[in-house]
Amino acid sequence: MEQPRNRVFSGVQPTGNLHLGNYLGAIRNFVGLQETHECLYCVVDMHAITVWQEPKELAANTREVAAAYIASGIDPERHIVFNQSKVSAHAELAWILNCVARIGWLNRMTQFKDKAGKDREKASVGLYAYPVLMAADILAYRATHVPVGEDQKQHLELARDTAQKFNNDFAAPDFFPLPEPLIMGEATRVMSLRDGTKKMSKSDPSDLSRITMRDSADDIAKKIRKAQTDPEPLPETVEGLAGRAGADNLVGIYAALSGKTRAEVLAEFSGAQFSVFKPALADLAVEKLTPITTEMKRLMDDPAYIDSVLEKGAVRARAIADPVIARVRELVGFI
Residues interacting with ligand AQP, by CB under 6 A? 12-13, 15, 21-22, 25-26, 148-149, 151-152, 188-190, 199-203
**Contact criterion met (CB below 8 Å) for 306 and 67:** yes
Task: From the candidates 86, 113, 122, 202, give the one annotated as an active-site residue.
Answer: 202
Task: Determine the Cα–Cα distance for residues 168 and 175; give it in Å rounded to an integer.
Answer: 10
Asked about 278 being catalytic, the answer comes back as no
Distance from chain centroid for Cα 93: 21
Q: Smallest distance, Å, CB 188 to ligand AQP?
A: 6
Nearest Cα neighbor of 133 from 34, 306, 13 is: 13
Using the minimum distance from each CB to ligand AQP, give the nearer residue, 3 or 206.
206
Q: Smallest distance, Å, CB 183 to ligand AQP?
A: 8
Q: Smallest distance, Å, CB 62 to ligand AQP?
A: 12
Using the minimum distance from each CB to ligand AQP, give the nearer residue, 140 or 190.
190
Q: Smallest distance, Å, CB 204 to ligand AQP?
A: 7
> CA dist 232 to 147, 228, 247, 250, 254, Å?
35, 12, 9, 14, 18
Between strands 7-12 and 38-43, the pairing is: parallel
Task: From the candidates 86, 165, 198, 199, give the one annotated as an active-site residue.
Answer: 199
Residue whose beta carbon is closest to ligand AQP = 25
Strands (E), the chain: 7-12, 38-43, 80-83, 145-147, 180-182
Task: From the candidates 56, 86, 113, 115, give the one annotated as an active-site residue.
Answer: 115
Distance from chain centroid for Cα 85: 17
Using the minimum distance from each CB to ligand AQP, give the nearer residue, 182 or 325.
182
Asked about 199 being catalytic, the answer comes back as yes
Distance from chain centroid for Cα 332: 31
Helix (H) or strand (E) holding 67: helix 55-72
Asked about 226 being catalytic, the answer comes back as no
Q: Residue 144: which residues within 8 A CB-CB, separation 6 or more?
A: 4, 5, 6, 7, 8, 177, 179, 180
Q: Smallest distance, Å, CB 327 to ligand AQP?
A: 28
Task: Determine the Cα–Cα distance for residues 320 and 140; give it in Å rounded to an integer.
Answer: 8
By annotation, the residues acting in catalysis are: 115, 199, 202
